[in-house]
Structure 1
Amino acid sequence: MTYLLKIPLCLFSLLGSIAHSSSQDLAPLAKEFIGSLDTELKEKACFPFDHEERFNWHFVPRERKGPTFHDFNEQQKAAALALMHASLGEPGVERTEAIFTLENILREVENRPANDDYRDPLNYHFSVFGNPGGTKEWGWRLEGHHLSLNFSSDRHTIVSSTPSFMGSNPALVLSGPEMNRQVLANETNMGFAMLHSLTKTQKSTAIFADKAPFDIITSNDRNAQLLQPIGIQYSALNPEQQKLFQELITLYLSRFTPAYQGLLQDRIIEQGWGSFAFAWAGSEINSVGEPHYYRIQGADLLIEYDNIQNNANHVHTVIRDLQNDFGGDLLLSHYQKDHGPESKEKQGK
């Protein structure tokens, strides 16, 4: 049995040696990626910024638009991976590459043939929306099973890296050469650490259901909203619990580039840690076979985690920005300014 990703490993090692960019300007790398494509692949990969496909996101196996690693030559694979690396923080890159490789493990867990393309580590799609490096807004997406990474830029600056979904099936590899591998171990273990730090009285506020919901509640909704009940407030935690809660939130934000993390951290400082709350549903036992769910809400951010399916060995996590998913109101206002009636009137003069 082999679980190696069927992309030349030299590509990952090559890209790993590239210094992680502290800049938010992804446009040069996106242009390089587009420039590496032939006419047919450009038609598959490129959409107008306002195309409805930009909001057509999901994290389940399904038919998708945009070329995949199957379509790329070595140069194109390298350009695609370089864009991916620059768009994420190091933990985000590590998790993304691990999610790719889990498809081979899942293929064998499900006893699928070696040529099966339902579980396929190459079946991840790249789409670009708008013209990177131009005078207008643009974005891009990387998506496949258990992965949906959406990035939106105001010309040269990332204004949104959400919705951001990462999942793991199996959550814990139970057999084979990769036995005990756990791609989202920190998200699981730190969530339980937060729960287990609570007193009985605190748990009565934080735990809103004995049974976990079947999946993340916001699913692939276009517009996410705060969920009820809200759980236990940050202000109701003692200093050690507050520190642990901050570390859990920071764990999720570390998936993003340092520059984008900084934007979110500025918002947290502005709105205050006191805006956050932690809620739990399901089992309090950290073990396969014990379904559980938690969520974090605050500073207009919503983070959901669940481990329910496949005998509670199948993790979903998502980060939603209630202000700026897909660029939010900021890019919408810019687009309306450039393309709305006032803009058209000026162009007609």
Structure 2
Amino acid sequence: MVVAQTQDAVLDLLASLSPEQLEKVKAPFGTPDHQAWTYLPGDRPGLPLAELTPAQQQLAQRIVELGCSQRGAADAWAVLDAEVILRGIPALPESGDWEGSVLGGRYFLRVLGDPAGPEPWAWRLNGHHLALHVTVVAGAVAFTPQFIGSNPAQVLSGPETGRRFLAAEQDLGFELLHALEPGQLEVALVSPEAPDDILTRHDPVADPSLLHRGLAYGDMTEAQRQILSLLIGQYVGRAAGPIGLQTWNDITEQGIERLTFAWAGETQPGVGNRHYYSIAGPTFLAEYDNTQDNANHIHSVWRDIRNDWGTDLLANHYAAHR
């Protein structure tokens, strides 16, 4: 159902665009830069949100809301709220229209392939601190790489003082760390210094060998495992229900006891306390860091080691149609 609705939503948006907009938003599925992405500031291939009319913007929002859970969509749009605070950009009008806005020019929508045809296709929304990639192959969906960040992590001044972004990703990480026994902590705490950024960066293919191993799920108590499961849920729960459920099934089928939790940096929360963690297993990888701008600047990424960009789905699809 999610795939059919998403397909209809993308086709509705494409049908509403002018020839000039279509030229920017569409690309072949096999375009050479298909797996090129970044979470840094700057232009991207695609159609800027600022060039969408209010009616077209609603269609674009519909696409995001179908691919994401309600919380995932809220997290994605919160990235833009944080950007308003960071850049001191005038707030959007009450209607929420992006048309012509400075901020809307920083985020780009792209459709690769033909959503109306039988072959694989994808849509993505990219910009500073936001990278949503959804790939559809023969009715199945891949949701990664997926990056959500925020600067600031906590608003320290102005009318929104106290507002936090990605709060649960931080709070559950500290909760799990503080639940560990001394012997477990020696294994999980891999470095007193946090890295400056996520270790897999925006590489097209995530390399789990870059990560520290940390403490295995199988070596945790039941209470600790529950916290880790909630923390994983903050990442997979950003996807629409069926997609998140499939990801959780993959994690358990591949051996959830093999997941590891690694921490680096400060062990107490607070602005200025640089910290980082990773969660990694045979298929699932998540990284979080809060190390820049006086540790008030979060990066968080979810990768599927086997199926980023729909790699596994594509291999099965091409094998079946060879």
TM bucket (normalised to shorter chain) is: over 0.9
Q: Partner letter of residue 167 of structure 1? A: G
Could you tell me how far apart the structure 2 residues matched to 1:124 and 1:258 are?
25
Residues 122/85 of structure 1: CA separation in 2 closer, same or farther (3 Å cut): farther
The residue number in structure 2 matching 1:219 is 201
* 3-state DSSP of counterpart to 2:276: strand
Could you tell me how far apart the structure 2 residues matched to 1:335 and 1:100 are?
37
The residue number in structure 2 matching 1:139 is 122
Q: Please report how far the alpha carbon of residue 285 of structure 1 lies from its aligned counterpart in structure 2 after TM superposition.
A: 1.3
Does 2:74 correspond to 1:91?
no
Does 2:106 correspond to 1:123?
yes
Could you tell me how far apart the structure 2 residues matched to 1:86 and 1:53 are?
25
The residue number in structure 1 matching 2:310 is 327
Cα contact 1:162–1:325 (8 A) shared by 2: yes
Match of 1:251 among 234, 246, 266: 234
Q: Partner letter of residue 324 of structure 1? A: N
* 3-state DSSP of counterpart to 2:218: helix
Could you tell me how far apart the structure 2 residues matched to 1:136 and 1:143 are?
23
Match of 2:35 among 40, 55, 61: 55
Could you tell me how far apart the structure 2 residues matched to 1:336 and 1:120 are?
43
- Residues 239-248 or 309-318, more deviating: 239-248
Q: Please report how far the alpha carbon of residue 71 of structure 1 lies from its aligned counterpart in structure 2 after TM superposition.
A: 0.5
Q: How does 1:173-252 map to 2 (within 5 A)?
A: 173-227=155-209, 228-252=211-235
Give a deviation string over 1:104-138, Cα, whole Å, max 9, x none.
10013xxx799xx9972552100000000311000
The residue number in structure 1 matching 2:264 is 281
Q: Please report how far the alpha carbon of residue 264 of structure 1 lies from its aligned counterpart in structure 2 after TM superposition.
A: 1.0
Could you tell me how far apart the structure 2 residues matched to 1:229 and 1:55 are?
25
Match of 1:303 among 286, 290, 294: 286
Q: Please report how far the alpha carbon of residue 330 of structure 1 lies from its aligned counterpart in structure 2 after TM superposition.
A: 2.2
Q: Please report how far the alpha carbon of residue 229 of structure 1 lies from its aligned counterpart in structure 2 after TM superposition.
A: 2.5
Q: Partner letter of residue 169 of structure 2? A: E
Q: TM-score, normalised by structure 2?
A: 0.92
Could you tell me how far apart the structure 2 residues matched to 1:161 and 1:336 are?
21
**Structure 2: which 5+ residue stretches go unaligned?**
92-99
Could you tell me how far apart the structure 1 residues matched to 2:278 and 2:83 are?
26
Could you tell me how far apart the structure 1 residues matched to 2:36 and 2:236 are?
23
Q: Please report how far the alpha carbon of residue 332 of structure 1 lies from its aligned counterpart in structure 2 after TM superposition.
A: 4.0
Give a deviation string over 1:14-42, Cα, whole Å, max 9, x none.
xxxxxxxx623321111111111111110
Residues 118/70 of structure 1: CA separation in 2 closer, same or farther (3 Å cut): closer
Cα contact 1:61–1:118 (8 A) shared by 2: no
Could you tell me how far apart the structure 2 residues matched to 1:192 and 1:243 are?
14
Residues 291/118 of structure 1: CA separation in 2 closer, same or farther (3 Å cut): farther
The residue number in structure 1 matching 2:94 is none
Could you tell me how far apart the structure 1 residues matched to 2:178 and 2:131 are?
30
Cα contact 2:48–2:104 (8 A) shared by 1: no
Residues 119/306 of structure 1: CA separation in 2 closer, same or farther (3 Å cut): farther
**Structure 1: which 5+ residue stretches go unaligned?**
1-21, 343-349
Runs of 4+ in 1 over 4 A off after TM superposition: 335-338
Cα contact 2:111–2:123 (8 A) shared by 1: yes
Q: Partner letter of residue 250 of structure 1? A: G
Q: Please report how far the alpha carbon of residue 295 of structure 1 lies from its aligned counterpart in structure 2 after TM superposition.
A: 0.4
Does 2:144 correspond to 1:165?
no
Could you tell me how far apart the structure 1 residues matched to 2:223 and 2:79 are?
32
Q: Please report how far the alpha carbon of residue 262 of structure 1 lies from its aligned counterpart in structure 2 after TM superposition.
A: 1.6
Cα contact 1:104–1:121 (8 A) shared by 2: no
Residues 251/46 of structure 1: CA separation in 2 closer, same or farther (3 Å cut): same
Q: Please report how far the alpha carbon of residue 51 of structure 1 lies from its aligned counterpart in structure 2 after TM superposition.
A: 0.5
Q: Partner letter of residue 288 of structure 1? A: V
Cα contact 2:43–2:106 (8 A) shared by 1: no
Could you tell me how far apart the structure 2 residues matched to 1:165 and 1:262 are?
19
Q: TM-score, normalised by structure 1?
A: 0.85
The residue number in structure 2 matching 1:105 is 85
Match of 2:250 among 247, 264, 267: 267
Q: How many residue pairs end up in the alignment?
A: 313
Q: Percent identity?
A: 36
Give a deviation string over 1:85-116, Cα, whole Å, max 9, x none.
111011111111111111110013xxx799xx
Cα contact 2:35–2:309 (8 A) shared by 1: yes
The residue number in structure 2 matching 1:149 is 132
Match of 1:316 among 299, 313, 317: 299
Q: Please report how far the alpha carbon of residue 53 of structure 1 lies from its aligned counterpart in structure 2 after TM superposition.
A: 2.5
Cα contact 1:103–1:119 (8 A) shared by 2: no
